[in-house]
């Protein structure tokens, strides 16, 4: 492990290192510097030492034998007794990444054999199923035991997990156990010939698209946002195999007891909507949202907003599209008064048809819009409604 090393035979006890440390991590005790836990191994003290008593010991970088790790493992999440749709998106991406060169695996906790059988219709070459009653409810410790066991059996180069509340808890815990890398909330993935996974996600508030690689450890973990990948297509024939697995008794023990599980009441979710009407800062006041919500309802869709409107309290955060909100992929999305910052675009640029209305002809939203209208949204909305009425659409 990297760290600062002191040679006491050279130290003059001058205290130059203590005064130069930008983190205040060095204290002088009995005439010698003591490196505290606040050390960031920046090396400033090494450069400031006039006696050369301090040196920087670098961590030896060990390379993993990548030939021992093959394939892409998808964690198949069960929600309310059914496969979570993000699982099918992960399988679709896994098939695309594998390109016939890598096997595609899936792992799941389920007592229903039909769940595993269904995955073999969506491109999973091998499905590992853990039907333990103890896994009926999500307890992160036990699920991590299961995922770790599956990784030990399969030795996959890549592990893909949905960026759901469950996945965002499970993936980091398992990655830490295996001392490997994890990139969260990926929006794109690429696989190199040597099995290095290029994990792409917005960074610095969405101002750049970072490409992150885990080159020295395996497996490579990535959580992927729902609605950003194309779901796998179902094949009539089951093309993979199902393997029933079990965990040793000690791996099923936990101090957590599930007393009861109460289903959350169903609520409208913009990530599931086929038609969306999104409003941005072009709106003059909160009350005007009612006009666009009524328009969305006439279309059989839902209202959505940008981050500034959610932060102003004009709409709940569950209605927000973007990196810090929801990712959506509707058939049609109307945007009114939305400039189209990259953070917003990252949450909706997979929409089939984008119709944008903005007074600024240079607004970024027009770069991705399929249909763009330069005009005042308050004038465009009634004319648009009238046109759709004439066509019998609303």
- Whether residue 99 is found in the same domain as residue 243: yes
**Number of domain units in the chain:** 3
Alpha-carbon distance 71 to 112, whole Å?
A: 25
Domain presence at residue 203:
yes
Domain presence at residue 263:
no
**Which pLDDT score, from 0 to 100, does residue 264 have?**
80
**pTM here?**
0.79
- Whether residue 169 is found in the same domain as residue 226: yes
CATH number at residue 375: 3.40.50.1220
Alpha-carbon distance 135 to 254, whole Å?
A: 11
**Which pLDDT score, from 0 to 100, does residue 300 have?**
95
Which of 252, 278, 312 is a domain's end point?
252
- Whether residue 99 is found in the same domain as residue 213: yes
**Which pLDDT score, from 0 to 100, does residue 268 have?**
82
CATH number at residue 136: 3.40.50.620
Residue-range definition of the domain harbouring residue 368: 270-390
Domain presence at residue 259:
no
First to last CA, the chain: 66
- Whether residue 120 is found in the same domain as residue 213: yes
Alpha-carbon distance 119 to 178, whole Å?
A: 26
Alpha-carbon distance 80 to 58, whole Å?
A: 49
pLDDT tens-place values along the chain, 394 residues long:
578 999 999 999 999 999 999 999 999 999 999 999 889 899 999 999 999 999 998 766 678 899 999 999 999 999 988 999 999 999 999 999 999 899 999 999 999 989 999 999 999 999 999 999 999 999 999 999 999 999 999 999 999 999 999 999 999 999 999 999 999 999 899 999 999 999 998 887 667 789 999 999 999 999 999 988 999 999 999 989 999 999 999 999 999 999 988 888 877 899 989 999 999 999 999 999 999 999 999 999 999 999 999 999 999 999 999 988 899 999 999 999 999 998 899 889 889 999 999 999 999 999 999 999 999 999 999 999 999 999 998 8
Residue 105 bridge partners (DSSP): 73, 126
Residue whose C-alpha is closest to residue 279's, from 314, 228, 252: 314
Domain presence at residue 357:
yes
């Amino acid at each position: 492990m990297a760290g600062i090393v002191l040679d006491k035979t050279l130290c003059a006890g001058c205290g130059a290192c203590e005064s130069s440390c930008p983190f205040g991590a060095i204290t002088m005790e009995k005439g010698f510097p003591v490196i505290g836990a606040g050390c960031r191994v920046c090396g400033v003290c090494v450069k400031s030492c006039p006696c050369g008593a301090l040196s920087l010991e670098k961590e030896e970088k060990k390379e993993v034998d990548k030939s021992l790790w093959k394939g892409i493992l998808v964690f198949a999440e069960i929600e309310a007794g059914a496969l979570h749709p993000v699982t099918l998106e992960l399988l679709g991406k896994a098939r695309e990444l594998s390109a016939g060169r890598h096997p595609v695996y899936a792992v799941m906790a389920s007592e229903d054999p039909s769940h595993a059988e269904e995955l073999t219709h969506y491109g999973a070459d091998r499905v590992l199923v853990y039907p333990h009653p103890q896994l009926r409810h999500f307890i992160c410790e036990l699920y991590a035991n299961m995922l770790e066991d599956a990784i030990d059996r399969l030795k996959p180069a890549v592990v893909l997990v949905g960026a759901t509340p469950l996945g965002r808890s499970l993936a980091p815990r398992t990655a830490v156990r295996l001392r490997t890398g994890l990139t969260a909330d990926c929006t794109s993935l690429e696989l190199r010939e040597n099995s290095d996974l290029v994990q792409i996600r917005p960074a610095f508030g969405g101002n750049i698209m970072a490409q992150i690689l885990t080159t020295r450890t395996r497996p490579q973990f990535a959580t992927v946002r729902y609605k950003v990948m194309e779901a796998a297509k179902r094949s009539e024939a089951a093309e993979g195999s199902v393997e029933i697995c079990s965990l040793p008794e000690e791996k099923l023990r936990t101090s957590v007891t599930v007393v009861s599980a109460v289903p959350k009441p169903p609520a409208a979710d913009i990530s599931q909507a086929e038609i969306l009407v999104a409003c941005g800062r072009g709106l003059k006041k909160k009350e005007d949202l009612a006009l666009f919500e009524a328009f969305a309802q006439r279309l059989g869709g839902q209202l959505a907003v940008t981050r500034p409107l959610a932060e102003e309290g004009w709409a709940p955060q569950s209605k927000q599209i973007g990196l810090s909100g929801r990712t959506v992929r509707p058939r049609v999305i109307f945007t009114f008064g939305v400039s189209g910052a990259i953070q917003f675009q990252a949450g909706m640029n997979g929409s089939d048809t984008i119709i944008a209305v903005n007074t600024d002809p240079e607004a970024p939203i027009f770069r991705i819009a399929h249909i763009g209208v330069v005009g005042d949204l308050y004038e465009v909305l009634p004319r648009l409604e009238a046109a759709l009425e004439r066509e019998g659409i609303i």
